[in-house]
Amino acid sequence: MERSVVLAAENLNIAFSEGRREIPVVSGVSFHLREGEILGIVGESGCGKSVTSLALMGLLPKRTARISGSIRFQGEELTEYSESSWRKIRGNEISMIFQEPMTSLNPLFKVGDQLEEALRVHTKKSRKQAKEQALRMLAAVGLPRPEELLREYPHQLSGGMRQRVMIAMAMMLNPEILIADEPTTALDVTIQAQILALMKEINEKMNTSILMITHDLGVVAQTCHRVMVMYAGEIVEEGSVKEVFQSPKHPYTIGLLKSIPNTAEKKARLYSIPGQVPKPGSIKEGCRFAARCEHAFDRCAKESPELLKAGNHLSRCFLAEKGGLPDDRAAVKG
């Protein structure tokens, strides 16, 4: 039986106004996040990952951001929400964690006060109940000596501990959805693996749906069930992690896969996709990846490919119509 959809974006477009100009940064993004699923969004810097996630939390600057399309959660249209409605679901139904915990943690307040506050804003729990829940959550995210931690300030903790505190805070109200924007990028490899394992555990034990945003396909491989690859504000490939890793269809995804460090082979020089993501506002007609694509042909400069079925998943590339790349897997091994 297919699991129910908890969050659905349909044809989401986001632009920022700059003077009289409107600069599009996210174009026609649609996706479904299912109950208990970990869905990855992956792409290079500037692709629109964070802007998309902030839109899902109602956190884009009202003055400059223009959003069209639909975001549906529990049968409600979030793009029409007022700030007070957002406040009811933020942290309660949908929580977010960031790369740098200090953006969520207030350096001036003790860990305990911040955790308890998260609960008391949304529920009528007493101080004692809030403290008990804070202790439970600190233990659940694998932090030692929770009683003492409640009395400490964020700067007294290591980066990995702060990240765990932030996850505990995000999980205080057992939200349906957790959005994690580069949750481990600032951490060293060992701590990164521990935090990712913790997020998987939360997903499995609490059935929380997670949107995992990362520039690192290694993180996707370790945690996600399904993945969307974003390029220059568009989704260019989408499918199950197994499918996309075993049989990537889009040249950009293939480039990203080739760029994953392979410690076993100890390659002397790591592959990187030549060129750069086009700056928003500079995007012309045709395939957005054309300037960097080694398979580009005449049509790619003139027409924009749609996200269509390629094999068992979706890809935005004309080559899919021609039966795909000559040998997808060989292309990755490169």
Ligand X SMILES: Nc1ncnc2c1ncn2[C@@H]1O[C@H](COP(=O)(O)OP(=O)(O)OP(=O)(O)O)[C@@H](O)[C@H]1O
176/92 Cα distance (integer angstroms): 8
Contact assessment for residue 172 and residue 199, using Cβ atoms and an 8 Å cutoff: no
257 is a site residue for ligand SF4 (CB under 6 A) = no
33 is a site residue for ligand SF4 (CB under 6 A) = no
Stretch of 47-55, 152-160, 234-242, 303-311 lying at the interface with ligand X (CB under 6 A): 47-55
Q: Which of 202, 305, 313, 332 binds ligand SF4 (CB under 6 A)?
A: 305
22/156 Cα distance (integer angstroms): 43
- Considering the complex, what minimum distance in angstroms separates the CB of residue 210 from ligand X? 17
262 is a site residue for ligand X (CB under 6 A) = no
Interface with ligand X (CB under 6 A), residue total 14
40 is a site residue for ligand X (CB under 6 A) = no
Which of 132, 129, 161 has the alpha carbon at shortest distance from 144? 161
184 is a site residue for ligand X (CB under 6 A) = no
Nearer to Mg ion, 70 or 99 (CB): 99
Q: Which of 9, 29, 39, 51 binds ligand X (CB under 6 A)?
A: 51
DSSP secondary structure, 259-309, as one string = TS--TTTT-SS----SS-PPPTT---SS-TTGGG-TT--HHHHHSPPP-EE
40 binds, among Mg ion, ligand SF4, ligand X, none (CB under 5 to 8 A by kind): none
- Considering the complex, what minimum distance in angstroms separates the CB of residue 158 from Mg ion? 23
Q: Which of 46, 142, 218, 286 binds ligand X (CB under 6 A)?
A: 46
Q: Which of 9, 47, 290, 319 binds ligand X (CB under 6 A)?
A: 47
Interface with ligand SF4 (CB under 6 A), residue total 13
According to DSSP, the β-strands at 209-214 and 177-181 are parallel
Q: Which of 4, 19, 45, 84 binds ligand X (CB under 6 A)?
A: 45
Stretch of 38-46, 204-212, 249-257, 292-300 lying at the interface with ligand X (CB under 6 A): 38-46
DSSP secondary structure, 26-87, as one string = EEEEEEEEETT-EEEEE--TTSSHHHHHHHHTT-S-TTTEEEEEEEEETTEEGGG--HHHHH
DSSP secondary structure, 210-265, as one string = EEEEES-HHHHHHH-SEEEEEETTEEEEEEEHHHHHHS--SHHHHHHHHTS--TTT
319 is a site residue for ligand SF4 (CB under 6 A) = yes
- Considering the complex, what minimum distance in angstroms separates the CB of residue 263 from ligand SF4? 29
300 is a site residue for ligand SF4 (CB under 6 A) = yes
Q: How far is CA 287 from the centre of its chain?
A: 24
Interface with ligand X (CB under 6 A): 16, 25, 43, 45-51, 61, 64, 215, 280
